[in-house]
Amino acid sequence: MAKVVLIYPRETDPPVEVTSFKSRMARYGVIAVASHLKAKGHDVTVFDELSGGRVRLAPVAAADYVCFSFLSFCARRAYAMADRFRRDLGSTVILGGSHVSVMPEEAVDHCAYVVRNEGEHTAAELIEALQAGGDPAGVRGISYRESGGRIVHTPDRPFTDAIDICLDLDLLPEYRSMGPLWNLRDAVQNGMFRVPMPAVQASRGCPAGCTFCVVRYQLGTRYRKRGIASVLEEVDAYLGRIRTPYLLFTDNDLSCDPDFSTELFTQIHRRHGRHLRPYIFARTDLARHPRLIEALSRFEHTTVGIGFESLDDEVLRAISKGQSHSDIVGAIEVLRRSPLHIHGLFMFGAEQDGPDVVDHAVDMALRHGFFNVGLCAHYDFPTRAKVLHQPQIIEDHRFIHRDWRFFSGNFVVHFPRQMRPSHLQRAILDGHERFNRRTSSGMYGYLPTRPTIERYIEYLRGVEAPYYDGSTRLDDRLASRRVEDLATDTGVRIGRADLYRESARFFARNLFRRTSWKLLLGMFANLRRGA
């Protein structure tokens, strides 16, 4: 059997996403792939930088295969590590994860093989074929470059029903409650103390057909469920290692099968009591399922991330969201009568969006007492239509650059029709600030990306000028732009002091905020309860 190393890299230069600066959260996919490979008999080592892991060169050098999994904002670091291991160690590198699944022809320049979409069975079959000296062309769901230079994409692998993989948490020895010295050292390096956040998955796939989302291509539109007993076993295993009340359910929509989800959370409550603080994703459909709302309401603090995306019916139709403004308002009215906390998720920069679109979303969030908001920009991936035959919501010539660090939803990476990119980026940053300043339902939010965004706005001002007349996009000037000519480095940099200033800002804003102290005291009470 093979020696396999799996790495999930974390990008911090500059800070381009928020989650890993606030929590230590291992990505579910990399643990699932590693657990499946170990169950097949392989000798597996995992370095997950998001959960606090540190890559050690000795196991990498000794590995038969060095595998990476990553989202787009980590691609730059992943490619650099992969190139170094191939050059200096002669490693056979396999790349997987969301980013390479949409950019396989770019990724093959940094590895021997790309694993597209769901990775457990594809990675295992690929390694078995290579170990046996067979032809990888028979493995479905991979991409690679032949010796003659031609890029081969084997047919997509059908989405598997065998998702009841029991995670082997022993593969993540660092993912447990750590002592005060470790946490202090991590806080100094990270810029903020981090809370452990176990990531649990109960289902895969999303039947919705939203055009802006790649989930239907990478996880399928068929809703597949794990056995409740195995999900409970996973929750038990996490809470046995980590003293935390938090659980993040990575499922795209836990309101798809309300009976399943109701039973799942009923059993979790029966097993662990009300002190847990789960976070789930759902659509506005959740409001039509009172039994599920009741089951979620039994916990001390349940947050529901709901993808409203837009308040404009024209935009909602354009992105095939399958809901209307009236659906959104009706769902909010129902959910406000429950103890659930709403995390409203919005996306801006559609062709129909005007300059006031962010303000309207923040106004509604404040009016209805949302617990939090996620204000994001539309993004997509160039060449996806040409290479993978998947429709894009942003045409290739409208992308600003190809610096993947900024493809996280936190940054404007395209030229909107009715506002300059810098104006939309400023509106998103100011919208978060206004919500945090005026809301009374939660803490003043920590935003490690703030200093990065400020520098990024300067960059946008420099590149957007030739393509706008006031706030109107000049399409004739954009039409000749080619993907190959887009910059791969925006040149945006920040210093460590900028990050520490944002941390100081967070503590100063929360120091005299009663809600913040209530949440902190509740968290520490739960930590003691779980000890």
Instruction: Place 520 in a pLDDT band, splitting at 50, 70 and 90.
Output: low
Q: What is the mean pLDDT of the chain?
A: 93
**pLDDT surpasses 80 at 43:** yes
The answer to whether residues 98 and 247 belong to one domain is no
Q: Which of 184, 301, 197 is nearest to 249 (CA)?
A: 197
The answer to whether residues 510 and 410 belong to one domain is yes
**pLDDT surpasses 90 at 174:** no
Residue 444 is classified by DSSP as: P
Single residue among 129, 153, 177 that ends a domain in this structure: 153
**Residue 73 belongs to some domain of the structure:** yes
Beta pairing partners, 7: 47, 68
**Residue 329 carries which side chain, given as an amino acid letter?**
V
The answer to whether residues 248 and 130 belong to one domain is no
The answer to whether residues 347 and 428 belong to one domain is yes
DSSP 6-24: EEE----SS---SHHHHEE
Give Cβ neighbours of residue 276 (< 8 Å, ≥ 6 apart). Answer: 245, 246, 247, 268, 269, 299, 300
**pLDDT surpasses 50 at 239:** yes
Residue pLDDT, tens place only, 10-29: 999 999 999 999 899 888 99
**pLDDT surpasses 80 at 516:** no
Tell which wins on pLDDT, 48 or 188: 48
Residue pLDDT, tens place only, 447-486: 999 999 999 999 999 999 999 999 999 999 999 999 999 9
Mean pLDDT in residue range 271-284: 96
Structural domain harbouring 91: 3-153
Q: Considering only 192-196, 297-301, 382-386, which range has the smallest mean pLDDT?
A: 192-196
The answer to whether residues 277 and 140 belong to one domain is no
Give the long-range contacts of residues 222-231, CB within 8 A, separation 24 or more. 222/159, 223/256, 223/257, 224/159, 224/161, 224/163, 225/257, 225/260, 226/163, 226/164, 226/201, 226/202, 227/164, 228/202, 228/260, 228/263, 228/264, 228/267, 230/164, 230/166, 231/200, 231/201, 231/202, 231/264
The answer to whether residues 498 and 352 belong to one domain is yes
**Residue 7 belongs to some domain of the structure:** yes
**Residue 520 carries which side chain, given as an amino acid letter?**
L
The answer to whether residues 427 and 283 belong to one domain is yes
Looking from the CA of 357 toward its CB, the CA atoms found within 13 Å total 29
Q: Which CATH number goes with the domain that contains 19?
A: 3.40.50.280
**pLDDT surpasses 70 at 524:** no
The answer to whether residues 284 and 429 belong to one domain is yes
**Residue 193 belongs to some domain of the structure:** no
**Residue 45 belongs to some domain of the structure:** yes
The answer to whether residues 224 and 120 belong to one domain is no
- What is residue 522's predicted lDDT score, i.e. its pLDDT? 57
The answer to whether residues 271 and 143 belong to one domain is no
Q: Which CATH number goes with the domain that contains 369?
A: 3.80.30.20
- Reported pTM: 0.93
**Residue 118 belongs to some domain of the structure:** yes
User: Most confidently modeled of 174-183, 342-351, 520-529?
Assistant: 342-351
Query: Within 10 Å of residue 183's Cβ, how many Cβ atoms?
Result: 17
Query: Within 10 Å of residue 98's Cβ, how many Cβ atoms?
Result: 22
Residue pLDDT, tens place only, 90-148: 999 999 999 999 999 999 999 999 999 999 999 999 999 999 988 899 999 999 999 88
Q: Structural domain tally of the chain?
A: 2
